Amino acid sequence: MLRHLRSLQDCTKEELGFFIERALELKKERQAGVAHRQLTGKTIGLIFEKPSTRTRVSFEAAMYGLGGRVIFLSGRDTQLARSEPLKDMARVMARYVDGMVVRTFGQNVVDELACYSSVPVINALTDLHHPCQILSDIMTVIEKKGAIENLKIAWVGDGNNVANSWIQAAELLGFELILACPEGYGPDPEILQKGRRNAAKPIVLVHSPEQAVAEADAINVDVWTSMGQEGQEDVRLAAFRGYQINAALLAKAPSHAIVLHCLPAHRGEEITEEVLESDRCVAFDQAENKMHMHKAILEKLIGG
Ligand code: CP
Ligand code: NVA
């Protein structure tokens, strides 16, 4: 049974399918004005050591929308900032809250909290993974295009946390994934190797954005400099030149291909204003879906 969501590796294919189906249902129910109270009496702690707009607010809105409560702690607010051991933090928090949603740098932080916590720990982004994002992104692709198993998904840009989680999703669900990353900016080698070993369909890594988008049904893009990489902007701007999602690149993709961006976007860097604001781009639906998906995740992990 799924208890923590440290990465998509914690999910079975069936659980992933369940999250998608339930999130789509919760979205419809919200649109119909159905009130939910499944998590009345439950409290989650949000521990965020990196900034966030979407993930924080959508988790908070999701929890309140299910009748629960949230305690938000920024990195500065806890004794973690003064080196309290994670194993102590985990055991103390678990006595107060029914679940922890954690955004931090090292994946080891989430893993260690989960190891010592008697309540579910949910990864809200680490340097290595962003599982909740990918669940909402897959939901968005399915909403727009139908069954993802039959689709070709492209990733253009940095082989970062979001890319790593896409690889784990491809491993579980068996859709074709083609990533175009500059030399030296590919995804985590172990995640890629494992994904390739187990996936039912190819997971391909190339250096050509044109090749990645040529047959894509959905094209994913993210920032070139992730949180924690501040100071590398100049070198990254140079490395990613040619990887921008713009009208010229989209002209090489099938006309039905949609563009996904998890946001925040840097217009003029990884994506142009023109593409981001076009009908091809579903970034704002993606952002909305984070809330429905987080409801589905909280309902299952916190509600039981
Ligand atoms: N997509 C995403 O995780 O956005 P935030 O950093 O605003 O949470
Ligand atoms: N790769 C980005 C995602 C932000 C939601 C980062 O880690 O900063």
User: How far apart are alpha carbons 54 and 69 in whole angstroms?
Assistant: 18
Q: What is the pLDDT of residues 7-45, one digit of tens each?
A: 999 999 999 999 999 999 999 999 999 999 999 999 999
Q: What is the pLDDT of residue 2?
A: 67
Report pLDDT for 304.
Answer: 83
Using a cut of 0.95, tell me whether the model's pTM lies above it.
yes
* DSSP states of 27-42: HHHHHTT----TTTT-
* Average pLDDT score over residue span 237-265: 98
Instruction: For domain 8-130+289-303, give the fold.
Output: Rossmann fold (3.40.50)
Beta bridge pairs of residue 46: 72, 101
Q: How confident is the model at residue 295 (pLDDT cuts 50, 70, 90)?
A: very high
**Given pLDDT bands bounded at 50, 70 and 90, which one contains residue 136?**
very high
pLDDT over 90, % of the chain: 97
**Cα-to-chain-centroid distance, residue 170:** 13
- What spacing in Å lies between the alpha carbon of 38 and ligand 2's midpoint? 31
Which architecture characterizes domain 132-286 according to CATH?
3-Layer(aba) Sandwich (3.40)
Q: Sorting pLDDT into bands at 50, 70 and 90, what band is 137?
A: very high
**For residue 292, pLDDT beyond 80:** yes
Ligand 2 atom 1 nearest Cα: 226
State how far the Cα of 70 lies from the Cα of 262, in Å rounded to an integer. Answer: 23
Average pLDDT value for the chain: 97
d(CA 188, CA 212): 18
CA of 303 to the centre of ligand 1 (A): 24
Residue 230: predicted pLDDT? 96
Give mean pLDDT, residues 35-59.
97
Q: How far is CA 160 from the centre of its chain?
A: 11
The residue nearest atom 6 of ligand 2, judged by CA position, is: 226
pLDDT bucket at 81, cuts 50 / 70 / 90:
confident
Bridge partners of 73? 47
Q: What is the token pair recorded at 65?
A: 């929308």
Which residue's CA is minimally distant from atom 8 of ligand 2? Answer: 226
Q: Which residues form the pocket of ligand 1, taking CB atoms under 6 Å from any ligand atom?
A: 52-55, 125, 133, 262-264
32 Cα to the center of ligand 2, angstroms: 32
- Read off the pLDDT band of 1 (50, 70, 90): low
Query: If you measure from the C-alpha of residue 139 to the centroid of ligand 2, how many angstroms do you get, rounded to a whole number?
Result: 19
- Domains of the chain, by residue range, sit at 8-130+289-303, 132-286
Rounded Cα distance between 39 and 284, Å, is 27
pLDDT above 70 covers a percentage of the chain that reads 99
Atom of ligand 1 nearest to the CA of 56: 8
What is the C-alpha separation between 258 and 282, in angstroms, rounded? 7
**pLDDT one-digit tens code per residue, 164-219:** 999 999 999 999 999 999 999 999 999 999 999 999 999 999 999 999 999 999 99
Residues contacting residue 116 through CB under 8 Å, at least 6 positions apart: 86, 87, 90, 91, 94
> Does the C-beta of 226 come closer than 6 Å to ligand 2?
yes
Let me know if the fold of 8-130+289-303 is the same as that of 132-286: yes
Backbone angles phi, psi at 219, to 5 degrees: -115, 125
